[in-house]
C-alpha cells in the first residue's frame, strides 16, 4: 500500500512538507489538520484504466452476439470509477473470429476495436467522473 497526502484547506508549512506519496500512512502534524490521506494500491496507480470482457453476460439477440465490457479507472484521489458498454457482432462474424479462426484477422480486428473503445471510455466518461469536484464541507 501507499498513501498520498493532499492539502485541502490552508497551506501550513507542516502540511506542505507532507504533500505527495508515502510508503506508510503519515501522522497528522496538528490537531485541526483537514488534509486528506488517500490509500491506494501501487499496483494500480492513479490513472490506471482497464476493461474486462464479462463472459457471463454474452447474449444472443436477433442474430447478434452482444458482449458486455466492464471498464474501471483509478482516479487521482484513489477512488475507482466503473462503467460498462456493449459490443455487438453478427453471429457469422463472431463464429469466424472466435470459433473457426481464433487469433486470426477477424479476431484481431475485433480486439483492436475493443481496445479503442476502452481507451475512449477511459479518456471520456470515466475521466469526467474522476475530475468532478464535490465540496466536502456541509
pLDDT digits (tens, 9 = 90+) for 87-98: 888 878 877 777
pLDDT digits (tens, 9 = 90+) for 6-48: 877 666 888 888 888 888 888 888 887 878 887 766 577 888 8
CA-CA distance, 27 to 37, in Å (whole number)?
10
Helix (H) or strand (E) holding 31: none
What's the pTM?
Answer: 0.60
CA-CA distance, 29 to 95, in Å (whole number)?
62
Q: Which residue has the cell 436477433?
A: 62
Question: Is 90 exceeded by the pLDDT of residue 60?
Answer: no
Mean pLDDT of 102-110: 78
Question: Is 60 exceeded by the pLDDT of residue 134?
Answer: no
Q: How many other CB atoms sit within 10 Å of the CB of residue 39?
A: 10
Provide the edge-to-edge strand list for the sheet that holds 49-61.
Answer: 49-61, 64-74, 80-90
Amino acid at each position: 500500500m501507499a498513501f498520498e497526502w493532499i492539502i485541502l484547506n490552508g497551506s501550513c508549512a507542516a502540511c506542505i512538507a507532507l504533500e505527495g506519496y508515502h510508503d506508510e500512512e503519515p501522522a497528522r502534524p496538528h490537531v485541526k489538520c483537514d488534509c486528506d490521506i488517500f490509500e491506494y494500491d501501487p499496483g494500480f496507480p492513479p490513472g490506471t484504466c482497464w476493461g474486462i470482457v464479462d463472459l457471463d453476460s454474452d447474449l444472443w439477440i436477433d442474430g447478434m452476439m452482444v458482449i458486455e465490457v466492464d471498464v474501471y479507472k483509478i482516479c487521482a484521489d484513489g477512488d475507482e470509477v466503473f462503467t460498462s458498454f456493449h459490443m455487438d457482432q453478427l453471429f457469422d462474424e463472431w463464429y469466424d473470429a472466435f470459433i473457426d479462426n481464433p487469433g486470426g484477422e477477424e479476431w484481431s480486428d475485433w480486439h483492436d476495436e475493443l481496445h479503442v473503445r476502452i481507451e475512449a471510455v477511459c479518456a471520456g466518461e470515466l475521466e469526467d467522473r474522476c475530475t468532478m469536484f464535490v465540496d466536502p464541507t456541509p
